[in-house]
């Protein structure tokens, strides 16, 4: 098992460049199946969720070429069997996007139930509601989701709950359906807009992505295209918080400031300086951080994927802060780990009360999931002493070259493989 060893207490200074967005790319890679020709994808991050997504395409028969520099040429036209085996699907929650894309292309799909990183309940009822509305028959048996349709007919889909995954799956299934599909109460995350732009560059007819009503006129054919993935708003937010936690001064490059608005607002509120430029932001801190309250919300609200990182920063702020996790019903599993480092946090259901302690201390900790792992890295960077973080495979699913990027900013971080522990636990997917 690999670990990170971090000697904390060093200010982060310099520049870091943000990679392509994980939650966009895990939807866009499966979407290549909908094209009747090869696609060129650029700005693809080197993270394990991408490797798994590409492996699934490869195992299904697609031709996947790594052209170097984050550029891939993918020809999915050889795929004939719309089945994603359990062995691959279980590693990643986003494997369920193969349901929408295979249904959209072949009118049938058989995909293993996705793994579920333990953030609490993560049902897929809204995904199945969308497929059913389009005319598909959905069955769950032996851990596999089996969907099929004689025809896919455009339909009205109203989501009972705002869901990023269900919105993406509905788009993937509807782009080649017959007629007009209207999705209401749709999620508005930047990665949904990125997917819609990608599909439209293939010849799809999608309007309204980024709003809560998305209209899709089905088309008969989609052609191959070239497309560059947007920068990762959560990776950017993570480095913003890391810079603030170490009272550093960091220029974060290759960002879309508009995607960071809610993060920027909250950082400014607690006393962090955020300077915005066209495609970068600079973070610095020249005074004490102060308490605040934050509630996670669907975009454009404060992102749930930034909740563990921001909560860690609030441990270093003066006063009592309140963090409410509105999206998932168990996203505070990192709190026990932070307590080992001296944090004073009490959790009641979806609410964490954080007493600013001013200082954290290095300790051995374990990453429970991707963003919680990122939070522990931030805690280790800010803490006095040495922090060892175990199970870092979670972190490497969503952060490209994180130790190299942090070392370039002056952090004392190294990755160590513990001999004889190479066998990895089943990676919780998310
Ligand atoms: C996506 O998960 C992201 N994952 C998550 O990022 C992110 O936290 C989440 O969206 C919210 O932004 C990927 O994009 C691969 P949801 P997803 O469907 O699609 C409930 C990360 O760290 N729900 O928007 O699974 C669900 O239980 C990961 O990068 C239903 O009830 O999230 C949750 O409470 C973690 N029924 C809420 O909706 C459904 O059918 C939002 O979930 C679907 C969801």
CATH number for the domain including 318?
A: 3.65.10.10
> If you take atom 30 of ligand 1, which residue's CA is the nearest one?
123
Token pair 């308490």: residue: 291
Question: Among 12, 8, 4, which Cα is nearest to 384's?
Answer: 8
Same domain, 65 and 77: yes
Same domain, 236 and 107: no
Angle formed at CA 297 by CA 284 and CA 190, multiple of 5 degrees: 75
Atom of ligand 1 nearest to the CA of 49: 15
Token pair 């952090």: residue: 411
Residue whose CB lies within 8 A of the most ligand 1 atoms, among 327, 394, 395, for a mutation test: 327
pTM confidence score? 0.96
Question: Among 48, 50, 45, 47, which Cα is nearest to 20's?
Answer: 45
Same domain, 264 and 202: no
pLDDT by residue for the chain (430 residues), tens only, comes to 899 999 999 999 999 999 999 999 999 999 999 999 999 999 999 999 999 999 999 999 999 999 999 999 999 999 999 999 888 888 788 899 999 999 999 999 999 988 756 677 788 999 999 999 999 999 988 889 999 999 999 999 999 999 999 999 999 999 999 999 999 999 999 999 999 999 999 999 999 999 999 999 999 999 999 999 999 999 999 999 999 999 999 999 999 999 999 999 999 999 999 999 999 999 999 999 999 999 999 999 999 999 999 999 999 999 999 999 999 999 999 999 999 999 999 999 999 999 999 899 999 999 999 999 999 999 999 999 999 999 999 999 999 999 999 999 999 999 998 877 654 444 434 4
Same domain, 236 and 220: no
Are residues 103 and 152 in contact, defined by beta-carbon separation less than 8 angstroms? Answer: yes
Same domain, 198 and 241: no
The residues near 288 (Cβ < 8 Å, ≥ 6 apart) are: 271, 317, 318
As for how many domains the chain has, the answer is 2
- The tokens describing 24, both together, are 């966009």
> If you take atom 44 of ligand 1, which residue's CA is the nearest one?
163
Atom of ligand 1 nearest to the CA of 127: 40
Residue whose CB lies within 8 A of the most ligand 1 atoms, among 97, 98, 122, for a mutation test: 122
Dist. CA 134 → ligand 1 center (Å): 22
**CA–CA distance from 317 to each of 290, 310, 332 (Å)?**
5, 11, 19
In 212-368, alpha helices (H): 233-245, 261-269, 307-314, 335-340
**CA–CA distance from 251 to each of 46, 126, 201 (Å)?**
22, 40, 32
Residues having CB closer than 6 A to ligand 1 are 22-23, 26, 93-94, 121-127, 161, 163-166, 187, 304-305, 327-328, 370-371, 398, 430
- The tokens describing 144, both together, are 């596999």
Active site residues: 117
Same domain, 80 and 154: yes
Same domain, 209 and 244: no
Q: Which of 228, 263, 296 is the last residue of a domain?
A: 228
Q: Which of 212, 228, 244 is the last residue of a domain?
A: 228
Q: Which of 213, 228, 243 is the last residue of a domain?
A: 228
What is the spatial distance between Cα 163 and Cα 403, in angstroms, rounded to a whole number? 32
Residue 177: domain span:
22-228
Same domain, 171 and 236: no
Collapsing DSSP to helix, strand or coil, 107 comes out as coil
- The tokens describing 25, both together, are 């790319």
Query: Longest Cα pair distance anywhere in the chain, in angstroms?
Result: 64
Same domain, 29 and 13: no
Bridge partners, 282 (sequence order): 251, 275
Cα 305 from chain centre: 7
Token pair 């890391």: residue: 242
Same domain, 170 and 305: no
Same domain, 371 and 235: yes
Atom of ligand 1 nearest to the CA of 93: 15
Dist. CA 187 → ligand 1 center (Å): 10
Question: What letter would DSSP give residue 259?
Answer: G
What is the spatial distance between Cα 88 and Cα 97, in angstroms, rounded to a whole number? 13
Angle of helix 190-201 relative to helix 22-31, nearest 10 degrees?
30
In 283-369, alpha helices (H): 307-314, 335-340
> If you take atom 25 of ligand 1, which residue's CA is the nearest one?
165
What is the spatial distance between Cα 189 and Cα 173, in angstroms, rounded to a whole number? 19
Same domain, 131 and 150: yes
Dist. CA 287 → ligand 1 center (Å): 36
Are residues 110 and 144 in contact, defined by beta-carbon separation less than 8 angstroms? Answer: yes
Cβ atoms < 10 Å from Cβ of 78: 9
């Amino acid at each position: 098992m690999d670990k990170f060893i971090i000697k904390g207490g060093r200010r982060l200074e310099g520049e870091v460049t943000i990679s392509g967005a994980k939650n966009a790319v895990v939807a866009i890679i499966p979407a290549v199946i909908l094209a009747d020709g090869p696609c060129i994808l650029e700005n693809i991050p080197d993270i394990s969720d991408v490797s798994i997504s590409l492996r699934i395409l490869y195992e299904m028969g697609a031709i996947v070429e790594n052209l170097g520099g984050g550029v891939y040429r993918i020809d999915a036209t050889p795929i004939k069997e719309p089945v994603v085996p359990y062995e691959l699907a279980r590693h990643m929650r986003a494997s369920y996007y193969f349901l929408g894309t295979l249904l959209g292309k072949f009118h049938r799909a058989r995909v293993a139930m996705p793994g579920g990183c333990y953030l609490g309940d993560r049902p897929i009822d809204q995904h199945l509601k969308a497929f059913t509305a389009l005319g598909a028959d959905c069955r769950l048996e032996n851990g596999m989701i089996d969907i099929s349709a004689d025809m896919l007919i455009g339909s009205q889909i109203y989501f009972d709950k705002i869901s990023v995954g269900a919105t993406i799956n509905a788009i993937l299934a509807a782009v080649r359906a017959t007629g007009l599909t209207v999705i209401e109460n749709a999620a508005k995350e930047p990665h949904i807009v990125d997917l819609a732009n990608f599909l439209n560059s293939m010849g799809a007819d999608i309007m309204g992505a980024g709003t809560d009503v998305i209209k899709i006129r089905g088309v008969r054919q989609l052609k191959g295209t070239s497309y560059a993935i947007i920068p990762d708003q959560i990776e950017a937010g993570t480095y913003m918080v890391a810079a603030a936690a170490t009272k550093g001064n960091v220029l974060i490059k290759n960002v879309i400031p508009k995607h960071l608005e809610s993060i920027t607002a909250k950082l400014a509120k607690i006393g962090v300086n955020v300077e915005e430029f066209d495609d970068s932001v600079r973070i610095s801190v020249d005074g004490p951080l102060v308490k605040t309250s934050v509630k996670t919300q669907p975009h454009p609200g404060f992102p749930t994927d930034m909740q563990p990182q921001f909560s860690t920063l609030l441990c270093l702020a003066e006063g009592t802060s309140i963090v409410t996790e509105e999206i998932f019903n168990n996203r505070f599993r990192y709190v026990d780990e932070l307590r080992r480092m001296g944090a004073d946090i009490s959790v009641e259901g979806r609410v964490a009360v954080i007493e600013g302690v001013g200082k954290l201390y290095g300790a051995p900790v374990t990453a429970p999931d991707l963003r919680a792992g990122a939070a522990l890295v931030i805690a280790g960077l800010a803490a006095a002493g040495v922090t060892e973080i175990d199970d870092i495979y979670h972190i490497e699913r969503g952060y490209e070259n994180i130790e190299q990027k942090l070392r370039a900013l002056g952090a004392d971080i190294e990755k160590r493989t513990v001999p004889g522990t190479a066998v990895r636990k089943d990676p919780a997917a998310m």
